[in-house]
Structure 1
Amino acid sequence: MAGCALDGQQNTETVAESGKVKNVIMMIGDGMGPQQVGLLRTYAHRAPNSIYEGRPTGIDRLIEAGVLGVSSTGPHDKIVVDSACSATQLATGEPALSEVIGVGTEGEYLETILERAQKMGKATGLVSDTRLTHATPAAFAAHQPHRNLENEIAVDMIRIGPDVMFSGGLRHFVPKSVNDKGATYEAIRELNDGAFTFSSKRKDEVNLLTEAQTAGYQLAFTREQMDKVQDGKVLGLFANSGMMDGIDYAATKDAGDRSEPTLKEMTMKALDILSQDEDGFFLMVEGGQIDWAGHENDVGAMLHDMVKFDEAIEAVYEWVAQRNDTLMIVTADHETGSFGFSYSMKDVPEPQKLPAPGFGDEHDYQPMFNFADLSLLDRIYAQTRSNKNIWGDFESLPADQQTAKKLAELMSKHHAFEVTEAMAATVLKTSPNRFQKAGHSYLASKTWPAVDTPFESFYVYGEETRWNLMGHALAEDQYVVWGTGTHTDTPVLVMTFGPEAATAPFSKFLTHPEVGQLAKDALK
């Protein structure tokens, strides 16, 4: 790219050839491998009733105008990466170990790009649709030996102090006594206007909301409260744990009474606030629930979360395109689910008569297998509830109603695919846990969901595997294959947009520490 576009024209006043930029925006699609990008683009451009209606996706526009590279995601000493390690590598430009947050291979605290930006006098921000203390945002503003230390991560984040923090995860910022529904609970409920229920995961009486206020933060718990913030430091916590998934987002984004902001709304508000700093800013934005849907092997939910993230990407792209001082980086921490569409022997097509000379009277058109009709894309997008939430509805029923027949009814209600009682019965099967490990948060149980596949050992999350089995029950009719309930080492895309000198180094096969280092170098 020769330079950023300004109102459709090439901007000739580009940043110095050194590649230095004033602002860096890093957008991370958690779990967004090339397969997930392909799912979005196939739906957008080929579904008969695509909501894109012939328009390019935000990712399309970004790739067309910018620079495309590829990156290996692996950790320092292993093959497959988790989100904490990968985000640490992107945040610090250094190799990292599995499941660590902002810590190096020798146990040292690593300077993140956010901390470097702070030292340079720049504003900083974090936005995610998961929890603020979840692995990806945590890696930019915390230093802990394990990603599960979310209470300690929350303390780090207030101490390190990004100017803008928007996400879910209130449960790690409020004292344990809120679980007693006493005075502290009532005070916080008044603050959040009763917009969502909350509880605490803390083991102490530390109230990080009051500590944040002492540190100069304004607090926001609803979209309306966020909109009122015009400048300064702000901590926005819009859900007790994760925020709305892509399906709920699609159903509520146009509702006038919606209290939870969308990923796009949080992102643009962060840009409004951070861009007031004359020294520039660093902003990380995570589309985190692509990964959750991939873990659950839920293709409809994954497509919806790709659409949600793409909307935020397009808004940021349009913002950056009006400037000549900003580097935009869009990548993923890893791929999740080993997802893909596949052809099969189900419903092999009947012969069709097609014109000569290619066919004619002597030769019919008849593929040997079913290569999946494009109408499937619309049916997949038509899903109205994630499998995880359908299972939650099922578990809330009285015990005598938790039958295969009832599960089939619930699944059929929210999917554009018929689910039979026999299909649902496969979700309810249980088998001995041959990987049992006493004291392990997921593997301690003697029995768990029966995964009827050679890849059983890659479905690691205990009873949550029921969600995967729901996806597997649908997979044959969706022409979808899944290889795992965890991550793969598939290289991911790195899409950059901005001044040519800053984007050019990304146009090759990189590693994630190299991507992180290039991002840090751009702020020098």
Structure 2
Amino acid sequence: MKRRDFLNTGVFAALGGALATTGCTPVVDAKKEPFKGKAKNIIFLVSDGMSVGTPTMADLLLQRKEGRSSQWMDLYRQNKVRHALMDTASADSLVTDSAAASSSWGGGVRVKNGSLNVGKNGENHKPILQKFKAAGKAVGCVTTVPITHATPAGFSVNMKHRNMQDKIADKYLELGFDVMMGGGLEYFNGTKRDDKKNILGDFKDKGFNVVQTKSQMTALQAGKPTLGVFTEGGLPYSVDQHSDEELQNKIPSLADMTSKAIALMQNNSNGFVLQVEGGRVDWAAHGNDAGALLYDQLAFDQAVEVAIKFAENRNDTLVIITTDHGNSNPGLIKSTKVDQKFDLLQSFKHSNEWVLHNIKKTDSPANVVERINYAHGYTISEEEAKTILKAYSKFDNGGLYNSYKLPFKQLAEIQENYISIFWSGMNHSADFVELAMYGVETEALPPLVKNTDLHNYMLQAAGVRV
């Protein structure tokens, strides 16, 4: 379809008119013939909290370690995608959180940070997966964080606040989506539910396949909706999982879940829509955890590869690759022997999280030096080790991403001297972010879009009128 025709449907009228300021849905002329979209299937991939330095460094790491580029950057190098920048602001801030960011795609309207498709006056904006489900498509989400977390929830539900994860789990039961897989077991088995109820049995009673291990997921056959919850909290960081055979055997990767979700939904006669989230990229950025960040970005890239391979020999699939916002703006910064320092990441065995969770108050500085050397391959000084140990006398067990107030910042600042990766902070940024589209119905993508524009873009690409 020509870009001009797509623009005339109203999808990107927001870039030049009232839609940009009001957040209203464009009026559809009922007398006109319905738009005939070519995107029977849509795969929407989100590397949560991905500043532009993250895919850059992941690509450099892969080139130097394995002599090949990442899938995402290779799509750019081969000019196989249309790509743009995306403005990620929320209704009440230039700097969005993941709930408002995903709601901009899910409901097509900017809402306040923390909200899931609920406007400032309490109005509900119908989430896009509900719209696609009503149109007869199979729908689902897979993620490396709790499946009840902000990004999958923003595509799926209306909720006053993102923290109501037990209520989000209940809503998933009601909605009956085709595939929902990730972490967050505690919101289904009762551990972190207000009512303490185990609702996994309710899903089974409603006809769901409920799986909790990689082998159970692999054995699934199409025909029934699927709930997969593999861990409490988020799935392990990829760098840690690669060093633990038991975790590799028990817990699927993001690429594994993506491949299985496609297999379970691809035979639906009306097609499918799948959201894929590399959620722990964001968590690693919050912790300034370079090894966790880059290896989870590469795990996300493997999921991108799965999606591209599915779409590349078809004429009915749109693949969207993006992030919801930047986070902490990491970058490889020039220093003495910067290449050699960066190359240390090739032999990382574990994340900073793994290192810090295994340090005890009673450890000596020598213990800390030894642990970091084992995990990362460089040797810090005893004075640097003492800086880390000092924080262990102040644990207060609070916070969304750093529940024990572990000294992530202190370790990251020490790491700067050894791997030359620097950070601007430990939270989200207002940067415009990368957006790429592959496959059918990509022609209408302009160079700069608002996050809300993608809602109508997907509906019109699929020919779904609501």
Same-fold status (TM-score > 0.5)? yes
Where 1:374 maps in the other structure, the secondary structure is: helix
Partner of 2:251: 260
Partner of 2:39: 21
Partners of 1:130 and 1:169 within 8 A in 2: yes
Where 1:65 maps in the other structure, the secondary structure is: coil
Partner of 2:366: 405
Q: Does 1:373 align with 2:338?
A: yes
Where 1:247 maps in the other structure, the secondary structure is: helix
CA distance in 1, matches of 2:338, 2:275: 38
Partner of 1:242: 234
1:192-223 deviation line (CA, Å, top 9, x unaligned): xxxxxxxx111214322111112210111111
Partner of 2:444: 505
The structure-2 alpha-carbon separation of the partners of 1:250 and 1:77, relative to structure 1 and needing over 3 Å to count, comes to same
Partner of 2:378: 417
Out of 278, 281, 284, the residue aligned to residue 275 of structure 2 is 284
5 Å-filtered alignment, 1:289-308, equals 289-308=280-299
**Identity across matched positions, percent:** 28
Partner of 1:383: 348
CA distance in 2, matches of 1:465, 1:239: 21
CA distance in 2, matches of 1:251, 1:322: 35
Partners of 1:92 and 1:517 within 8 A in 2: no
Q: Does 1:160 align with 2:152?
A: no
Partner of 1:468: 409
The letter of the residue matching 1:116 is K
CA distance in 2, matches of 1:228, 1:286: 22
Out of 91, 106, 110, the residue aligned to residue 125 of structure 2 is 110
Partner of 2:436: 495
When the two chains are superposed, the root-mean-square deviation of aligned CA atoms in Å is 2.6
The structure-2 alpha-carbon separation of the partners of 1:127 and 1:416, relative to structure 1 and needing over 3 Å to count, comes to same
Out of 455, 460, 466, the residue aligned to residue 521 of structure 1 is 460
The letter of the residue matching 2:352 is N
Q: Does 1:58 align with 2:71?
A: yes
Partner of 1:228: 219
The structure-2 alpha-carbon separation of the partners of 1:248 and 1:432, relative to structure 1 and needing over 3 Å to count, comes to closer
CA distance in 2, matches of 1:403, 1:336: 33
Partner of 1:37: 55
The letter of the residue matching 2:72 is I
CA distance in 1, matches of 2:206, 2:370: 51
CA distance in 1, matches of 2:43, 2:268: 14
Q: Does 1:314 align with 2:305?
A: yes
Where 1:258 maps in the other structure, the secondary structure is: helix
Where 2:425 maps in the other structure, the secondary structure is: coil
The letter of the residue matching 1:120 is A
Q: Which runs of 5+ in 1 are unaligned?
A: 3-15, 176-199, 345-369, 434-438, 444-459
Partner of 1:95: 110
The letter of the residue matching 1:509 is L
CA distance in 2, matches of 1:310, 1:325: 22
Partners of 2:391 and 2:406 within 8 A in 1: no
The structure-2 alpha-carbon separation of the partners of 1:442 and 1:132, relative to structure 1 and needing over 3 Å to count, comes to closer
Q: Which moved more, 1:465-474 or 1:17-26?
A: 17-26
CA distance in 2, matches of 1:521, 1:141: 18
Q: How many aligned residue pairs are there?
A: 428
Q: Which runs of 5+ in 2 are unaligned?
A: 3-33
Q: How far has the Cα of 1:156 moved from its partner?
A: 1.2
Partner of 1:271: 262
Q: Does 1:83 align with 2:98?
A: yes
Partner of 1:186: none
Q: Which moved more, 1:286-295 or 1:60-69?
A: 60-69
* TM-score, normalised relative to structure 1: 0.77
Partner of 1:71: 86
CA distance in 1, matches of 2:81, 2:403: 42
CA distance in 1, matches of 2:122, 2:398: 24
Q: How far has the Cα of 1:19 moved from its partner?
A: 4.4
CA distance in 2, matches of 1:108, 1:441: 32
The structure-2 alpha-carbon separation of the partners of 1:257 and 1:114, relative to structure 1 and needing over 3 Å to count, comes to closer
Partners of 1:219 and 1:236 within 8 A in 2: yes
* TM-score, normalised relative to structure 2: 0.86
Partner of 1:138: 153
The letter of the residue matching 2:446 is S
Partner of 1:452: none
1:205-248 deviation line (CA, Å, top 9, x unaligned): 43221111122101111111112211121111111221121202
The letter of the residue matching 2:442 is T
CA distance in 2, matches of 1:202, 1:314: 36
The structure-2 alpha-carbon separation of the partners of 1:69 and 1:216, relative to structure 1 and needing over 3 Å to count, comes to same
1:467-521 deviation line (CA, Å, top 9, x unaligned): 222111111222221111111111110010111xx21222311111112331233
Where 1:409 maps in the other structure, the secondary structure is: helix
Where 1:504 maps in the other structure, the secondary structure is: coil
The letter of the residue matching 1:275 is Q
CA distance in 2, matches of 1:110, 1:431: 45
The structure-2 alpha-carbon separation of the partners of 1:287 and 1:507, relative to structure 1 and needing over 3 Å to count, comes to same
CA distance in 1, matches of 2:282, 2:254: 15
1:78-135 deviation line (CA, Å, top 9, x unaligned): 1111111111112222111101122223322211221111110110111001111111
The letter of the residue matching 2:84 is G
